[in-house]
Chain A
């Protein structure tokens, strides 16, 4: 069964550093998403991406964050100047046709900022 692949599975970074989280969505999917889950809290929406541009973003997704689809397969989330409170599990998801098709999530990247 097709999978959404995320790398790395765990990343530790120092406060103030930049990190890039990588995702390979399912190949025929057109909609891409990032979510995060702070330990013990709800899964929260960060951003949706379609047709090479952001289609929706949450209030969490401020100038510290950016997304990119640098080639035909990868979808990345960049976090600049990381803060302790950015420590969370970050999930990538993709969808064939958006809302009505549901999502497939990756297994997540656990980001720890020290």
Chain B
């Protein structure tokens, strides 16, 4: 079964620190992987999309990496800010038309 796992479920860090969020998936034959941000009770905002042929993507303070062979992706957030507090979701395309989501990591940045 194709599954996506995110650990830890919750993470608190002081403002200004760099941090890494983890995503693992069970099948290395992926098409792409997308990181989303979800604020409480709100929709999903796409952060970064990594194609299967890519190793990483960057946008501002965010950097996402992809290692298909180990079934892992990381989202690196530099110089964290209180506004980064949200739930971060990892979602994988396993070759069909749907995204398979992880349960997310709820991130709290402590001012």
Contact = CB atoms under 8 A, between A and B. Distances in A.
B98 interface: yes
Contact of B32 (A35, A89, A100): A100
A42 B103 contact: yes
B46 A102 contact: yes
A45 B98 contact: yes
A103 B31 CA distance: 13
Size range of the chain B interface in the assembly = 20 to 34
Interface SS, A side:
strand
A107 B91 contact: no
A100 B97 contact: no
Interface in B19-65: 31-32, 34, 36, 41-46, 49, 51
A104 B91 CA distance: 13
Contact of A102 (B45, B49, B89, B104): B49
B46 A100 contact: no
Contact of A105 (B36, B41, B98, B100): B36
Contacts of A25: none
Contact of B98 (A41, A56, A100): A56
Q: Of B44, B49, B102, which is in contact with the most chain A CB atoms at under 10 Å from its CB?
A: B44
B101 interface: yes
Interface string A39-54: 0011111001010000
Contacts of B101: 42-44
Task: Please indicate which of the listed interface residues A50, A55, A98, A103 has the most CB atoms of chain B within 10 Å of its own CB.
Answer: A103
A100 B103 CA distance: 23
Report which residue of B36, B46, B97 has the largest number of chain A beta carbons within 10 angstroms of its beta carbon: B97
B72 interface: no
Contacts of B32: 99-100, 102
A58 interface: yes
Nearest to B41: A110
Interface of B: 31-32, 34, 36, 41-46, 49, 51, 89, 91, 93, 95-104
Interface of A: 6, 31, 33, 35, 41-45, 48, 50, 55-56, 58, 89, 91, 98-100, 102-108, 110
